[in-house]
């Protein structure tokens, strides 16, 4: 029997729960010759800002054990050019949900991007990157302070004409508190996790390996932490969760679903295998068939807490 891979996510009907993650899939259009967009649930564009941004100087991406650290600095063409040049080709793939990742360094910056995107066709939802530093408040990330997060999300929600997914920062003490805050402020869903703040040092030069000094750790190294955070968040909220962090195989995706995610995103894996999102989406369907799971949605939160070893 063919499993039903469709899922509902804050009013969106997705072909399957596997989505390409922000910053690792370009603007989407770069992958149209590589990935069969009919086989993936959706894609998240790289972060889009009010004005174009050049990003940080090199080196801005390094490999680590089981992952990588990036400090790209959110380079992008800005919202105007995104709408005129990058978005139109994506309208050829109506079954693939196009989610636009939005960021800013002040709430007004986020709102300006949302206002502009509201007028554009072919967007399924917005994903708000809450890991950005609030330059008006000493550079503390919006997503690491409950009050700032509440302010950002509630104001963004009042402007967005599409579902609002809030991407939380994992660099917090209590992810449950931040997830509950996002829900209270009106988020339609949350995605977690973004990258973990990290530092890598070249012992020969005694200097940081990245121009920006610190960067964000992603890839398989972070997966067990991300799964734990999805599980903790799922107990604190009722809105859907998109889980991500280090997913490389279909089984990795299943872990996130069992922990409470409704959908998953594939990030760093696309660097080693540009077709990873499609491969995992197809593999997840096979996994469901092999395990007699008729509806992929039934996996969400189906974690059995019976401890290993007990009968």
Ligand X SMILES: Cc1cc2nc3c(=O)[nH]c(=O)nc-3n(C[C@H](O)[C@H](O)[C@H](O)COP(=O)(O)O)c2cc1C
Residues classed as catalytic:
132
Taking each continuous run of H as one helix and of E as one strand, the counts in the chain are 9, 18
Stretch that binds ligand X, among 4-12, 15-23, 28-36, 177-185 (CB under 6 A): 15-23
Name which of 4 and 61 has its Cβ closer to ligand X. 61
> CA–CA separation, 211 vs 27, rounded Å?
24
Name which of 3 and 259 has its Cβ closer to ligand X. 259
Q: How many residues interact with ligand X (rule CB under 6 A)?
A: 25
Stretch that binds ligand X, among 66-74, 156-164, 171-179, 287-295 (CB under 6 A): 66-74
Check binding of 195 to ligand X (CB under 6 A).
yes
> CA–CA separation, 162 vs 35, rounded Å?
26
> CA–CA separation, 222 vs 67, rounded Å?
8
CB of 252 to ligand X, least distance (A): 9
Rg of the chain, C-alpha, whole Å = 18
Cβ(113)–Cβ(28) below 8 Å = no
Q: Which two tokens stand for residue 35?
A: 């990935």
Q: Which two tokens stand for residue 271?
A: 């660097």
Q: Which of 39, 86, 167, 279: binder of ligand X (CB under 6 A)?
A: 167
Name which of 93 and 142 has its Cβ closer to ligand X. 142
Name which of 96 and 266 has its Cβ closer to ligand X. 266
> CA–CA separation, 143 vs 129, rounded Å?
8
* Phi, psi for residue 135 in degrees, rounded to 5: -70, -20
Within residues 221-280, the interface with ligand X by CB under 6 A covers 222, 244-247, 266-269
Q: Which residues bind ligand X (CB under 6 A)?
A: 21-24, 46-47, 70, 72, 74, 101, 129, 167, 194-195, 218-219, 222, 244-247, 266-269
């Amino acid at each position: 029997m063919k499993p039903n891979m469709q899922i509902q996510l804050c009013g969106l009907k997705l072909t399957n729960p596997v989505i390409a993650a922000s910053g690792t899939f370009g603007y989407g259009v770069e992958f149209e010759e590589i990935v069969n967009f009919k086989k993936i649930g959706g894609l998240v564009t790289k972060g889009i800002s009010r004005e174009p941004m050049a990003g940080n100087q090199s080196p801005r991406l390094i490999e680590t054990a089981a992952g990588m650290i990036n400090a790209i600095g959110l380079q992008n063409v800005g919202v105007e050019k995104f709408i005129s040049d990058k978005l139109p080709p994506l309208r050829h793939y109506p079954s693939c949900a196009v989610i636009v990742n939005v960021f800013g360094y002040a709430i007004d910056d986020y709102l300006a991007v949302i206002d502009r995107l509201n007028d554009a066709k072919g967007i399924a939802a917005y994903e708000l990157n809450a890991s950005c530093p609030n330059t008006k408040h000493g550079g503390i990330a919006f997503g690491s302070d409950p009050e700032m997060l509440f302010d950002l999300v509630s104001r963004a929600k009042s402007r967005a004409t599409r579902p609002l997914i809030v991407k939380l920062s994992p660099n917090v003490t209590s992810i449950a508190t931040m997830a509950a805050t996002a829900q209270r402020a009106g988020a339609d869903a949350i995605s977690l996790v973004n990258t973990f703040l990290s530092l890598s040092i070249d012992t020969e030069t005694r200097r940081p390996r990245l121009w920006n000094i610190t960067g964000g750790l992603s890839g398989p190294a972070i997966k067990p932490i991300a799964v734990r955070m999805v599980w903790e968040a799922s107990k604190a909220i009722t809105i859907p969760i998109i889980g991500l962090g280090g997913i490389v195989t279909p089984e990795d995706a299943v872990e996130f679903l069992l922990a409470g995610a409704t959908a998953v995103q594939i990030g760093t894996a696309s660097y080693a295998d540009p077709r990873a999102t499609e491969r995992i989406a197809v593999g997840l369907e096979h996994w469901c068939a092999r395990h007699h799971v008729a509806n992929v949605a039934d996996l969400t939160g189906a974690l059995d807490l019976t401890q290993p070893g007990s009968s």
